[in-house]
Amino acid sequence: MNQDFQISFEAIDGSHVGDGGIEHGALLSRLCEAMFYEDPDQLASVRDDVIEVAGAKVLVDAVAVSANFYMMTRIADATGTPLDAGTVEPSVEIRELVGVNNFTSRREAQA
């Protein structure tokens, strides 16, 4: 693996702001957006783009990672699991950097 690259968090703000230093990053951000908004036409289009540009394996891996995070969040929400106290302090800087504290939860977005 080539370790001569630099990753940034710009892609967290959406596919329109860059690739975050990740190969196919903007395209993968589009895939995440399509999955979030559950638009079948948008999802079909970006799915085809990912397969064409990056390959089916990348598509499967990306969707599997997204599904796993979704599952973990659902379990944590359903059980009322708070952010681990040992994680709160060490994550302050990164949460601020990426603006995660300003994200709207899916529940809030659908309300």
| pLDDT digits 0-9 by tens, 28-76 | 989 988 998 899 999 999 999 999 999 999 999 999 999 998 888 788 7
Residue 9's closest CA among 87, 73, 99, 70? 99
Q: What is the pTM of this model?
A: 0.64
Residue 84 — very low, low, confident or very high, per pLDDT cuts 50/70/90?
Answer: confident
Residue 7's closest CA among 94, 100, 105? 94
**Per-residue pLDDT at 76:** 77
Residue 8 — very low, low, confident or very high, per pLDDT cuts 50/70/90?
Answer: low
What's the rounded mean pLDDT across residues 79-90? 78
**Per-residue pLDDT at 14:** 62
Cα 91 to Cα 87: distance, rounded to the nearest angstrom: 6
Q: Which two tokens stand for residue 65?
A: 């990672």
Q: How far is CA 82 from the centre of its chain?
A: 21
Cα 87 to Cα 111: distance, rounded to the nearest angstrom: 29
